[in-house]
Chains A and B, each alone.
Chain A
Amino acid sequence: MDIEAMKNAQDVRGLIKLLDHEKYDVQWRAADALGSMGEIACDPLLKVLTFPKIHVRIGVIEALGAIASPKSVEPLINTLMTDKNHEVRWVAAVALGEIGDKRAIPPLVASLREEDRYVRYGSARALEQIGWSAETEEDLAYYHIALEDWDAIKKMGKSATTPLTEMLRDEHPPIRERIVRILGSIGDGVGGRSCERILRDPDENVRWCGVLSSQKCGIPPRELPLELSKRVRTGPSAIGAALLNLIFLGCGYDYLGKWWGLIILEIFLLLFLISQLLVGIKVSVMIWAPITAVFAAQTYFMAKREAALAG
């Protein structure tokens, strides 16, 4: 596969095909070659910008970033806003920075509020490259958060509180923990909604940091236990476990995460079948219903107790 020769022959189609080559290094060398070909590769590349395969889209965007044609700005903005893949959105942000067209600024600023840390980071770096400077304190805060430049955020003080609380929706617990600590050190009244969000975080560490930070934000300790107790419990439902065990003995235990639940189910099904063969369906239901009811009650109390212990 002579990529160099294809490049010299200006074989744009051939090179675009190579973006889907099984070998990783062929993929990126093809993207590199396409990027060095200039305007003539731009239109054919834009045609495959929505190709289903992720690595092809990434290759296309890498090349478009290097070509830096103004024609590709709008399509790339569209990719940044709508593509479902994180890496593709990330590379689109970086490419827009490489192209340096000012039209990309508003969408990039919007992307600073993205859920994905890579897209945020790429957008911040792209904005830097385009020569953007934040117009509002809020944008500046989002920018620093995107770069995970925690010292800079701390220095911003109270003006960073709203963006920080907003970014608590990040899916990585370490980031949320970091944010909560900074909110504590800023010491602004992180009242209301954000406080609730922190104290109800699914991650134990984040909740604990939230408790420590709340004190610094002037939230009285007496309010904490109730808030904390309102968090979403991911634990199993006791009634559900009991009902499952009532109908199919063993299922409820399995639902509660007991490895032996399946074995009990096996034994139950077998015994039920045998009893049905011996005494018929009606009698065996009458025999088994009280037995499974006892187990169901036991399951209910066991689940309740375990939930209480888990805290």
Chain B
Amino acid sequence: MVDLSAKAGQKSTDIEKLTAAKDIPGLIKALHSDDMKMQTEVAKALGSLGPAAMDALILELKKKDKDHNLVIIKALSEIRDPKPVPVLIGMLKDENSEVRWGAAIALGEIGDIQAIEPLVTCLRDHDKYVRYGSAYSLEMLGWKPQNEEERAFLLVGKQEWEAVELLGDSAVPALTNILHDRHSIVRIKAVETLGELKSPSAIPVLMQSLADEDSEVRWKTVLASEKSGIKLMHLPRGLSRRPKKKKNPWIAGFLNFILPGLGYAYLAKWWGVMIYEIDIFVTIWLWQYWGEFSFEALLPIYFVLAVHAYYITVKMPEDPP
């Protein structure tokens, strides 16, 4: 038996041998090849082995190994057998976004219409890759949106912003859904598109985005808000709710008093922990050098450090909006 497990430079003849021997585990190992052409060939070989191979592949998906799962999902999307569809639908809820993305694409490639409903749900995923993959697959499956709101989710998934704009009010839910996307670029697009809808129904969500953590998103929200008809007068209040990195002067002072230096560390000064380390060292050293040593003598120093930490926190300028 030829063992192909993780060797590079496997040959087609080896695949033939494995196929002839119906060595399904060997072929599954060979799927891990780095060569994309090889992967496809192995997948085809597995496909030719019929139900037994499919069952083995489906069993592999049960393993909690992201990279392995992605390899199997890719193979399944090339074999295009409908048998793994229920398992793949289940994987649309995997906690790993790459697995969800892969499963969504595989379901489109396999082309079984029972995947449509779960894929429509995935258009609301919080990950842009999953949304994009689901939109792609739904089109592969020939899905047509039932209403304008669903169409908006499809177009947002494909990031076709200009087409979304034309949908008017019905695009608001789909755009609202992506206002919490991890990537500020996506949020900016969402906000800009909401503005272009020129619709009062975008007002509540835009007011939320005024307090976005990203400064560029906040600015674009201001411009978009005016287009939706929010009075400029109401925007500053919304902006004032932006997250502020203001530190508490009392915490800084207290920390510096009991653990000198850590108050500075709390204020994100890189040398805070250093001062703390050195303080401990010097205290031990003094104690060792003088033998009996009164710690009260150090208290005034700690107090000065505490006041200093308090003072610089209060004096810290406010973050610009």
Q: A28-B234, A28-B237 are in contact. Are A277 and B288 (CB under 8 A)?
A: yes
The CA-CA distance from A272 to B222 in the complex, in Å, is 59
User: Which residues from B are CB-within-8-Å of A269?
Assistant: 277-278, 281
Among A37-45, A83-91, A136-144, A226-234, which stretch is in contact with chain B? Answer: A83-91
Residues of B near A122 (CB, < 8 A) are: 232, 236
Q: Is the C-beta of A255 less than 8 angstroms from some C-beta in chain B?
A: yes
Number of interface residues of A (CB under 8 A): 46
**What's the nearest-Cβ distance from chain B to residue A181, in Å?**
17
Inter-chain contact B285/A276, CB cutoff 8 Å: yes
Q: Is the CB of B237 within 8 A of A87?
A: yes
Chain A residues lying within 8 Å of B215, measured Cβ to Cβ, are 172
Instruction: Enumerate chain B residues within 8 angstroms of A31, measured Cβ to Cβ.
Output: 237
Chain B residues with Cβ under 8 A from A27's Cβ?
237
Q: How many A-B residue pairs have CB under 8 A?
A: 88
The distance from the CB of A92 to the nearest CB of chain B, in whole angstroms, is 9
CB-CB under 8 A from B95, the residues of chain A are none
* Min C-beta distance of B269 to chain A, whole Å: 11
Q: Known contacts A174-B216, A262-B277; is A62 also within 8 Å of B320 by CB? A: no
Indicate which residue in A55, A262, A272 contacts B237 across the interface (CB closer than 8 Å): A55
- Among A4-12, A113-121, A294-302, the stretch that binds chain B is A113-121
Q: Which residues of A contact B284 (CB under 8 A)?
A: 273
Interface residue A266 (Cβ < 8 Å from any Cβ of B): yes
Contact, CB under 8 Å: B234 / A62: yes
- Rounded to whole angstroms, the CA-CA distance of A304 and B318 in the bound complex is 34
- State A87–B319 Cα separation when bound (angstroms): 11
List, in ascending order, chain A residues with CB within 8 A of B7's CB: none
Asked if A87 meets B321 with Cβ closer than 8 Å, knowing A54-B240, A172-B215, A174-B216, the reply is yes
- The number of residues on chain B lying at the interface, defined by a beta carbon within 8 Å of a beta carbon of chain A, is 27
CB contacts (< 8 Å) of B274 on chain A: these are 248, 251, 254, 262, 265
Residues of B within 8 A of A59 (CB): 237
Asked whether any CB of chain A lies closer than 8 Å to the CB of B273, the reply is yes
The answer to whether B273 and A94 have CB atoms under 8 Å apart is no
Whether B318 lies near A84 (C-beta < 8 A) is yes
Give B250-309 interface residues, CB cut-off 8 Å to A.
Answer: 270-271, 273-274, 277-278, 281, 284-285, 288-289
CA A58 to CA B234, docked complex, whole Å:
9
Among B239, B277, B320, contact of A266 (Cβ-Cβ < 8 Å): B277
- In the assembled complex, which residues on chain A have CB atoms less than 8 Å from the CB atom of B321? 86-87, 116, 118
Q: How far is the CB of A185 from chain B (nearest CB, A)?
A: 22
Interface of A is mostly: helix
A171 an interface residue at 8 Å Cβ cutoff?
Answer: yes
Please encode chain B, from 123 to 143, with 1 for each CB lying within 8 Å of some chain A CB and 0 for all others: 000000000000000000000
Is the Cβ of A94 less than 8 Å from the Cβ of B222? no
**A87 lies within 8 A of B240 (CB):** yes
CB-CB under 8 A from B235, the residues of chain A are: 90, 94
Contact B236 A273 (CB under 8 A): no
Say if the beta carbon of B241 comes within 8 Å of chain A.
yes
Is B219 an interface residue, CB under 8 A from the partner?
yes
Whether B233 is near chain A, meaning CB under 8 Å from some CB there, is yes
A55–B240 CA distance with the chains assembled, in angstroms: 8
The complex places the Cα of A126 from the Cα of B133 at a distance, in Å, of 46
CA distance A31 to B237 in the complex (A): 11
Partner of B222, one of A97, A118, A254: A118
Q: Give the interface centre of B236, B240, B278, B284 by most chain A CB atoms within 10 Å.
A: B236
- Considering the complex, give the chain A residue whose CB is closest to the CB of B319: A86
In the assembly, what is the distance between CA of A254 and CA of B215, in Å?
30
Q: Does A98 contact B (CB under 8 A)?
A: yes
B24 to chain A, nearest CB (A): 46
Does residue A176 face the partner (Cβ distance < 8 Å to B)?
no
| Nearest 8 pairs of A and B residues by beta carbon | A91-B236, A87-B240, A87-B236, A269-B281, A90-B236, A58-B237, A86-B321, A94-B232
- Residues of B at the A interface (CB closer than 8 Å) are 215-216, 219, 222, 232-237, 239-241, 270-271, 273-274, 277-278, 281, 284-285, 288-289, 318, 320-321
Q: Can you list 21 residue pairs at the A/B interface with Cβ under 8 Å? A: A24-B241, A27-B237, A54-B240, A62-B233, A86-B320, A87-B237, A87-B239, A90-B235, A90-B239, A94-B232, A94-B235, A94-B236, A115-B320, A117-B219, A118-B236, A121-B222, A251-B274, A254-B271, A262-B277, A269-B278, A273-B284
